[in-house]
């Protein structure tokens, strides 16, 4: 077994690998960029090395810097995590040349499965079923269009070197093919340095089911059953589970056998995942699943497999990479119960899942009720440089219903302030009747998106508590000051104070009367209500109102307040009372960058007439493209950016001429 390893990654996966290494008595070495100098994974490691500035091309993708850190630290092996260099065969070759072990498959195995078109050809030869499509070398746009027409719409354009939903476009109408092709090629080039694509038939009711495989250097290969990853948005997984709901044993056996066949076809050693797409238009059938791709690394969702099998997959990786045989044979493997994983991201679901940035002013994760894999701590910053994952919330239960209930409770107990998250969206998915019944497919989120991103109205208790917090009336008693009991007392009558709040863009004046120690009457539009603060512990407030006792958490950060109540988070802004009552108008006259990013495509010129929702700018952020559209019909008055320009959050990209000017 290794004595010291280097983790060539960051965030939660680096922390996850370090946890197992520590359990096995293995020393760990971290690498970090300037943006991660104070990151959690750096603090967890036994030692750490700076490898460059924040951009990944200058840090985490610098194989030379990582090999140099190995030599300086004496690390015997490198664990790549996922993403970055995890599926880069040239990196594996460089490590081998330097005499450093790679905790993963061989370079030849990675090359065999690294390009989707070559991998599909290999799988066809091995007898593994593949999705109908075009996987050839000809990349002429007209030729690819002909192939799509031949296959029949809808089709899926996929970057052949892609993964994680990057470089993928669904096309339903032939007239949209050309633009979709260009977008997939651009994203593939930006993310993987390869703009070539393949075309596949898009199944109208597919499920994404993958098999965890493991091989060793002694010729052994096994599978550790399936995971269902069908809940996706923009081709990226949201909630994963194991096993797959409704999976017939015959199909489980067929998929497992096909996955092991695929692994043995390339003499695979280490952890890998064979991803299949299943046509469930007539239910799950053993003759209706097709090979999509193989990920030659550990998957983000590996914890659900760990929880149902009781195996530590990182430990398996370390043992296999050090030359040991697989810890178990196929007949020794079994699973029990059910597991779910939800990916908690800093992203704005109602705004098209735009990645968000910010400081985690308050972070309370449900570690008492769930396994939480995270690479951040309270006070850490979510930057535009890397994946905006905050944590993975993973649960296990004896049945699917029990595990799903546990996941919902854990998500409702999650508290994040200072940065918008998808926690509410994840909880809404857990409440979705179809998902709860196990009726899932990759189109579920898109079909019911409006329902899933609908934000609940703020309850009156949340407004009242926000007002009390804004007025400084929720401070806990010191315990030794007798004047605490006189707070709010007046000789003639109850005191009156007014809190100015902004809720969902609407300003509200809330009148508060102090009735005595920790007792208040709050005048709301819905009427007057009396509140007694039973206990105040930091931001946590236990209160009585109308004979009902409840608990909430009210957190203040630089953006205002967040009230966590009833499993929901309600943001409340605190406007500057000295500023003008009316804010400057004209929001519909400007196109503003919703996040930091690169102006990839600019389809706008001054003086040009545009219609509402016409695509004008493609902004690339975190290696994903986001299309920004005209806010209204009008004429472009001014274009303020150029293609290739890096912009910050809130940058005005272009402005429409005022209505009167446009008419003139």
List phi, psi (to 5°) of 387. Answer: -55, 135
Q: Looking at the DSSP assignment, which residues form a beta bridge with residue 522?
A: 512, 529
- Name the CA radius of gyration of the chain, rounded: 27
**Other beta carbons less than 10 A from residue 330's beta carbon:** 14
On whether the CB atoms of residues 174 and 129 are closer than 8 A, the answer is no
Report d(CA 22, CA 5) in Å as an integer.
11
Q: Which residue has the tokens 């706008």?
A: 604
H or E element, residue 156: strand 155-163
Q: What is the DSSP string of 113-152?
A: HHSHHHHHHHHHHHT--B-SEE-SS---HHHHHHHHHHH-
Q: What is the DSSP letter of 439?
A: -
Of 657, 651, 663, 661, nearest in space to 630 by CA? 657
Of 144, 180, 186, 187, nearest in space to 164 by CA? 187
Q: What is the token pair recorded at 578?
A: 């000295």
- Long-range contacts of the stretch 262-265 (C-beta < 8 A, 24+): 262/123, 262/126, 262/128, 262/213, 262/291, 262/294, 263/213, 263/215, 263/221, 264/215, 264/221, 265/122, 265/123, 265/125, 265/126, 265/128
From 297, 319, 343, 400, active-site residue: 297
Q: Which residue has the tokens 């007046």?
A: 490
3-state secondary structure of 659: helix
Give yes or no: 186 in active site. no
Q: How far is CA 182 from CA 292, 621, 642, in A?
A: 22, 17, 19
Report d(CA 616, CA 631) in Å as an integer.
10
Q: How far apart are the first and last CA of the chain?
A: 78
H or E element, residue 191: helix 177-192
Q: What is the DSSP letter of 283?
A: B
Report d(CA 592, CA 503) in Å as an integer.
22
Which residues are catalytically annotated? 297
């Amino acid at each position: 077994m290794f004595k010291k390893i280097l983790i060539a990654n960051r965030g939660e996966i680096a922390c996850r690998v370090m946890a197992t290494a520590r359990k096995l008595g293995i020393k760990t070495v971290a690498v970090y960029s300037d943006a991660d100098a104070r990151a959690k994974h750096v603090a967890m490691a036994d030692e750490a090395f700076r490898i460059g500035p924040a951009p990944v091309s200058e840090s985490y993708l610098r194989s030379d810097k990582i090999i140099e850190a190995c030599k300086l630290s004496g690390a015997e092996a490198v664990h790549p995590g996922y993403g970055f260099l995890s599926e880069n065969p040239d990196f594996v070759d460089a490590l081998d040349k330097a005499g450093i072990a790679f905790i993963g498959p061989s370079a030849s195995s990675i090359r065999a499965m690294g390009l989707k078109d070559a991998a599909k050809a290999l799988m066809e030869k091995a007898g593994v079923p593949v999705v109908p499509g075009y996987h050839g070398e000809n990349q002429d746009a007209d030729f690819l269009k002909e192939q799509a027409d031949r296959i029949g719409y809808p089709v899926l354009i996929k970057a052949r070197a892609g993964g994680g939903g990057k470089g993928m476009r669904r096309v339903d109408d032939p007239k949209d093919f050309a633009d979709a092709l260009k977008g997939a090629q651009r994203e593939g080039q930006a993310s993987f340095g390869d703009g070539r694509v393949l075309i596949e038939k898009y199944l109208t009711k597919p499920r994404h089911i993958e098999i965890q495989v493991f091989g060793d250097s002694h010729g052994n290969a096994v599978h550790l059953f399936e995971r269902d990853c069908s809940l996706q948005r923009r081709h990226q997984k949201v909630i994963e589970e194991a096993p797959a709901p409704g999976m017939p044993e015959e199909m489980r056996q067929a998929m497992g056998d096909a996955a092991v066949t695929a692994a043995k076809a390339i003499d695979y050693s280490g952890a890998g995942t064979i991803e299949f797409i299943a046509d469930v238009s007539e239910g799950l059938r053993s003759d209706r699943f097709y090979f999509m791709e193989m990920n030659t690394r550990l998957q983000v969702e590996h914890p659900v497999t760990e929880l149902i099998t009781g195996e530590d997959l990182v430990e398996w990786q370390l043992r296999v990479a050090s030359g040991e045989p697989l810890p178990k044979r196929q007949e020794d493997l079994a699973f029990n119960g059910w597991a779910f994983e939800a990916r908690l991201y800093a992203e704005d679901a109602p705004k098209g899942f735009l990645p968000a940035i910010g400081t985690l002013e308050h972070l309370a994760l449900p570690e008492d009720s769930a396994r939480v894999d995270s690479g951040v701590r309270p006070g850490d910053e979510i930057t535009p440089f890397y994946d905006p994952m905050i944590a993975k919330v993973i649960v296990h239960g004896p049945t699917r219903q029990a595990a799903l209930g546990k996941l919902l409770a854990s998500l409702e107990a999650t508290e994040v302030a200072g940065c918008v998250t998808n926690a509410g969206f994840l909880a809404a998915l857990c409440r979705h009747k179809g998902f709860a019944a196990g009726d899932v497919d990759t189109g579920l989120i898109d079909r019911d998106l409006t329902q899933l991103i609908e934000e609940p109205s703020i309850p009156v208790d949340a407004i009242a508590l926000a007002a009390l917090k804004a007025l400084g009336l929720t401070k806990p008693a010191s315990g030794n000051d007798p004047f605490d009991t006189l707070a709010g007392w007046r000789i003639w009558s109850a005191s009156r104070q007014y809190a100015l709040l902004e809720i969902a863009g609407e300003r509200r004046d809330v009148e508060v009367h102090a009735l005595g120690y920790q007792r208040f009457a709050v005048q709301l539009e819905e009427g007057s209500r009396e509140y007694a603060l039973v206990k105040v512990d930091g931001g946590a407030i236990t209160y009585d109102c109308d004979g009902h006792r409840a608990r909430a958490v009210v957190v203040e950060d630089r953006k205002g307040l967040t009230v966590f109540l009833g499993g929901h988070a309600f943001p409340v802004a605190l406007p500057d009372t000295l500023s003008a009552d009316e804010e400057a108008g004209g929001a519909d006259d400007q196109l503003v960058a919703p996040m930091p990013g690169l102006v990839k495509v600019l389809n706008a010129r001054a003086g040009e007439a545009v219609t509402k929702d016409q695509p004008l700018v493609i902004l690339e952020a975190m290696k994903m493209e986001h299309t920004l559209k005209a806010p209204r019909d009008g004429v472009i008055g001014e274009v303020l950016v150029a293609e290739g320009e890096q912009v910050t959050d809130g940058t005005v990209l272009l402005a429409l001429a005022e209505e009167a000017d446009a008419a003139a």
